[in-house]
Chain A
Amino acid sequence: MRLRTWLSLFAASGLAAGLGGGVAHARPAYPDHPVHYVLHVSPGGATDVMARKLGSVLQKELKVPIVIENRPGGRGAAEMAIITHSKPDGYTIGSATSTHLAEFHQTLRQYNIHSVTWVARLVTDPYLFVVPAKSDIHSMKDLAAAIKADAGKMVVAGFVKGSGANIAWEMFMSAAGLPASDVNWVPYNSVGGGVTAVLGGHGAATVAYYGLVKDQVAAGHLRVIGVIAPKRLADLPNVPTVEEQGYNVPTFWNQWRGIIAPANMPPAILAALDADIKKAMESPDMQAYVKNNSLQYDYAGSATFDTFIQQQDKVTLVWLKKLGFVK
């Protein structure tokens, strides 16, 4: 800890020197020392890699070092413990994804959406309905018909039950007037696990993200038949939305990545963070990253993000109850 303080002092003094020897350049009070960015995932995964990239860009905006800390313990529990026990001074921020909301209702019930400040939403990843390319299913209508024709037999390989992808599937089933028991949802450890299973012929369909299936679609192994989004994706102009195909599902239901901070953050600090994160996300570096990884750039500042979270939280709770995960 002491070493870290010295290092940060050293870094800060170097920065001050870099800013013209600390001349009469009135710097705002925040931030004047390193910001800790706490992640709920292990190093190496998609969320981690993006956070590290963002951290390296954001430290140019904030003009202080960003220290990335991986706290993967307890499926978000370790990260939440740090965030909720830190001061809302802007020096501790954390990563969040839509999974956090489900955890608040299931395993981490000591927290809710008011336990943290919702700083910014960075990107979204819409849910796609994917089938093998050699399948006879070409549209959501075909999918509904195939399920009906083979009631109770179709195997759908996807992420664990109660996950965002699973809820997206159930939303479609309910919109199509099909009972959930008409398919066998076989849960895999990750969204990618479901894609692998469908590639190997162990499932007739899955729900996935564009980045996970892009190359498989281009190589002619998989086909995307629908997307849950307000409008078609720029990358998939020929794939109609699920709503366009006549199924009434909430178009805002997607996987998102955002930034959280301790609750009750002073508005001035929140506004400063929000503005700097937005600038970082708009930098050519981050925009290239988002594009290369087939994510949808969908920035939302703290006010919009907060409203979005309340809406997502309501829907999450409704569906977790419907699926029997929450009483």
Chain B
Amino acid sequence: MIGQGFLLALHHMESWDVLAGLIGGTLAGYCIGSIPGLSSSIGIALLIPFTYGMSPITSIVLLVTLYMATEYAGAIPAILMNTPGVPAAAVTALDGYQMRLKGEAGAALTMSILSAGFASITGTLLLIASSTWIASVALAFGPVKYFAIAVLGLSMVSSLSGDSMLKGFIGLFFGLAVALIGTDPMDGVPRYVFNDNLLSGVGFLPALIGLFALSSVFALVEKSAEMPAPLKRLPSVSGQVGLMRPYIGPLARSSVLGFLVSVIPGHGATISAFISYGFQKRISKRPETFGHGNPEGLIASEAAANASVPGALAPMLSLGIPGSASTAVLIGALTLHGVQPGPLLFTRNPEIPYSIFIALIVTMPLMVALGLAGTRLWVRVTQVPRSMIAGLVGAMCLLGSYASQNDLFAVWTTIFFGILGYVLQKAKIHPAPIVLALVLGNLTESNFRRSLITSRGHLSIFVTHPFAFACLLVALAVFLAPFARRAPAAAPAPAPSTH
């Protein structure tokens, strides 16, 4: 059955057009992904009009490879300039940028592309093995379970807070407050809308660009007189793979976790990356080095984000339900070509899912080769004087922010959050918990309220669902763990100092 599907798809893919689509999609993905503001969903939407004249196979191959390459390429500016090219790369920046500050930009870039390659192949194999049934598992996620998962995600704040839990929570609650702005997701009533542009809420991409990228531009300007640190030698080709050897465990775990999280509709690459990062930190032997340039953190984020591409495709292929914003746009593109993703896709158009599988597998080596070769070039960015980088990145931030919404209001949002991010940096409050809250705020609120409408206001609904209750208990434990750890640690601490 599966073998037949692959043969059929290969037959359809034997053409120069498809090959051109593969290469074109990868290259376009690298370009779109590295520009902040142009996320994979916007990239796919931008390319749809170009596919009008193509066959369905060529266009889906082009768009899927673009999706995959975009999710990786976002890591490049995140590592080099603390400027996430796509939202999930904000998590990569936590440790990736710190590695770059230590002069390890080459190693960080190499590790990120190898993690991405490994994760996408793992995710694709999981997708091929499970595509026909895993989505029905995802369907079992109702409002109660969604809420529990969202709270579990929010509890990751304790992994993102750096040195002070209090500051982490300040960031989290500020983010949740910002997420409240806009039209109420249930009743359509405006909340804190002082300006019509806020009716659809504070734009996520403009806020993200401001908090991470524009604020680091301000920080760069501050130090613009300093000379760039000398470039460390890049790992040789043979050393590149060896670089990953100590991290096989985190790599495999994060790939599988990223895939599983993103199978649940609505949980895209960003949530996968956050959960995987938090999980990896929790089980790491050196959790205190996370956020200070620990490669484990970089790998956890990159692997999960890239495994989420095949993950999000699972509910789309078997049920026609988008697993992420990008797959929602992909569904639009497919229907335009007369292909309806849904329960009948595998019987009606088997060549479509199988050419997606093949495209995902074939793109991987291409993407990795391009990434490894490109690292030698991109790493030179660290040698460019800071003032020039600041100017270029600043312009890119504002341009990217405008492009994400086609609206000047988005630019003002970015400037506001850029200044805010800079002030928070001075107060040593990290932007990551704010981003976490912006990603999960709406999901948490809507599903909490949906659960309560279903139960007619009885909170007991969260206890009677075993899976949800377990998630909530774990989340509570994760929230409290740092406090519990601190208390006993405080007591024996003076003991060694007396020696």
Binding site for B on A (CB under 8 A): 42-46, 48-49, 52-53, 56, 69-78, 81, 102, 106-108, 152, 155, 160-163, 184-189, 192, 196-197, 199-202, 214-216, 218-219, 221, 289, 292-293, 325
**Is A45 in contact with B456, judged by CB distance below 8 angstroms?**
no
Q: Which residues of A contact B140 (CB under 8 A)?
A: 200-201
> Which of the residues A72, A77, A106, A200 comes within 8 Å of B405, measured between beta carbons?
A72
> What are 11 inter-chain pairs, A to B, with CB distance below 8 A?
A48-B45, A56-B49, A73-B406, A74-B198, A161-B188, A187-B185, A199-B139, A200-B141, A215-B344, A216-B343, A219-B344
B281-336 contacts to A, CB under 8 A, are 319-321, 328-329, 332-333, 335-336
Q: Which residue of B has the minimal Cβ distance to A80?
A: B196
> A169 CA to B444 CA in the complex, in Å?
26
Q: Which residues of B contact A70 (CB under 8 A)?
A: 406
**Is A152 in contact with B456, judged by CB distance below 8 angstroms?**
yes
**Is A52 in contact with B49, judged by CB distance below 8 angstroms?**
yes
**Shortest CB–CB separation between residue B316 and chain A, in angstroms?**
12
Q: Which residue of B has the minimal Cβ distance to A49?
A: B332
**Is A325 in contact with B454, judged by CB distance below 8 angstroms?**
no
> A221 CA to B409 CA in the complex, in Å?
44
B163-211 contacts to A, CB under 8 A, are 183, 185-190, 193, 196-200
**Is A44 in contact with B41, judged by CB distance below 8 angstroms?**
yes
For residue B390, CB closer than 8 A to chain A, the reply is no
What's the dominant secondary structure at chain B's contact region? helix
For residue B377, CB closer than 8 A to chain A, the reply is no
For residue B353, CB closer than 8 A to chain A, the reply is no
Q: Which residue of A has the minimal Cβ distance to B407?
A: A73
> A162 CA to B265 CA in the complex, in Å?
25
**Is A199 in contact with B319, judged by CB distance below 8 angstroms?**
yes
> A292 CA to B56 CA in the complex, in Å?
14
> A33 CA to B108 CA in the complex, in Å?
51
For residue B446, CB closer than 8 A to chain A, the reply is yes
**Shortest CB–CB separation between residue B265 and chain A, in angstroms?**
7
**Is A77 in contact with B197, judged by CB distance below 8 angstroms?**
yes
**Is B186 in contact with A45, judged by CB distance below 8 angstroms?**
no
Q: Which residues of B contact A214 (CB under 8 A)?
A: 340, 342
For residue B396, CB closer than 8 A to chain A, the reply is no
Q: A49-B335, A184-B453, A186-B450 are in contact. Are A161 and B407 (CB under 8 A)?
A: no
> Which of the residues A78, A215, A218 comes within 8 Å of B407, measured between beta carbons?
A78
**Is A45 in contact with B332, judged by CB distance below 8 angstroms?**
yes
> Which of the residues B332, B343, B450 comes within 8 Å of A219, measured between beta carbons?
B343
Q: Which residues of A contact B332 (CB under 8 A)?
A: 44-46, 48-49
Q: Which residues of B contact A45 (CB under 8 A)?
A: 328-329, 332
Q: A56-B52, A197-B142 are in contact. Are A216 and B338 (CB under 8 A)?
A: no
> A70 CA to B450 CA in the complex, in Å?
31
B16-74 contacts to A, CB under 8 A, are 41-42, 44-46, 48-49, 52
- Taking each of A46, A185, A202, which has the highest tally of chain B beta carbons within 10 Å of its own beta carbon? A202
> A55 CA to B335 CA in the complex, in Å?
17
> Which of the residues B187, B320, B329, B454 comes within 8 Å of A215, measured between beta carbons?
B320
**Is A75 in contact with B200, judged by CB distance below 8 angstroms?**
yes
**Is A49 in contact with B405, judged by CB distance below 8 angstroms?**
no
For residue B143, CB closer than 8 A to chain A, the reply is yes
**Is B139 in contact with A186, judged by CB distance below 8 angstroms?**
no
Q: Which residues of B contact A81 (CB under 8 A)?
A: 196
**Is B45 in contact with A42, judged by CB distance below 8 angstroms?**
yes
> Which of the residues B41, B45, B185, B454 comes within 8 Å of A189, measured between beta carbons?
B185
User: 6 nearest interchain CB pairs?
Assistant: A43-B45, A44-B329, A215-B342, A77-B196, A200-B139, A219-B343
> A56 CA to B49 CA in the complex, in Å?
10
- Taking each of B188, B333, B336, B410, which has the highest tally of chain A beta carbons within 10 Å of its own beta carbon? B188
**Shortest CB–CB separation between residue A176 and chain B, in angstroms?**
21
- Taking each of B46, B333, B335, B410, which has the highest tally of chain A beta carbons within 10 Å of its own beta carbon? B335
> Which of the residues B188, B193, B410, B450 comes within 8 Å of A325, measured between beta carbons?
B188
> Which of the residues A161, A188, A196, A292 comes within 8 Å of B338, measured between beta carbons?
A292
**Is A186 in contact with B143, judged by CB distance below 8 angstroms?**
yes
Q: Which residues of B contact A219 (CB under 8 A)?
A: 342-344
**Shortest CB–CB separation between residue B155 and chain A, in angstroms?**
24
Q: Which residues of B contact A78 (CB under 8 A)?
A: 196-197, 407, 409
**Shortest CB–CB separation between residue A174 and chain B, in angstroms?**
19
**Shortest CB–CB separation between residue A36 and chain B, in angstroms?**
12
Q: Which residue of B has the minimal Cβ distance to A42?
A: B45
Interface string of B124-165 (1 = CB under 8 A from A): 000000000000000111110000000000000000000000
**Is B142 in contact with A71, judged by CB distance below 8 angstroms?**
no
B427-485 contacts to A, CB under 8 A, are 446, 450, 453-454, 456
> A70 CA to B344 CA in the complex, in Å?
32
Q: Which residue of A has the minimal Cβ distance to B182?
A: A75
**Is A75 in contact with B183, judged by CB distance below 8 angstroms?**
yes
Q: A189-B446, A215-B342 are in contact. Are A74 and B200 (CB under 8 A)?
A: yes
**Shortest CB–CB separation between residue A316 and chain B, in angstroms?**
13
**Is B187 in contact with A161, judged by CB distance below 8 angstroms?**
yes
Q: Which residues of A contact B200 (CB under 8 A)?
A: 72-75
> Which of the residues A46, A53, A196 comes within 8 Å of B321, measured between beta carbons?
A196
> A81 CA to B407 CA in the complex, in Å?
12
Q: Which residues of A contact B186 (CB under 8 A)?
A: 160-161, 187
> A108 CA to B336 CA in the complex, in Å?
32
Q: Which residues of B contact A163 (CB under 8 A)?
A: 188
- Taking each of B48, B139, B189, which has the highest tally of chain A beta carbons within 10 Å of its own beta carbon? B139
**Is B45 in contact with A44, judged by CB distance below 8 angstroms?**
yes
> A153 CA to B454 CA in the complex, in Å?
8
**Is B342 in contact with A107, judged by CB distance below 8 angstroms?**
no
Q: Which residues of B contact A107 (CB under 8 A)?
A: 183, 188, 190, 193, 196, 199
Q: Which residues of A contact B338 (CB under 8 A)?
A: 292
Q: Which residues of A contact B335 (CB under 8 A)?
A: 49, 292-293
> A86 CA to B440 CA in the complex, in Å?
38
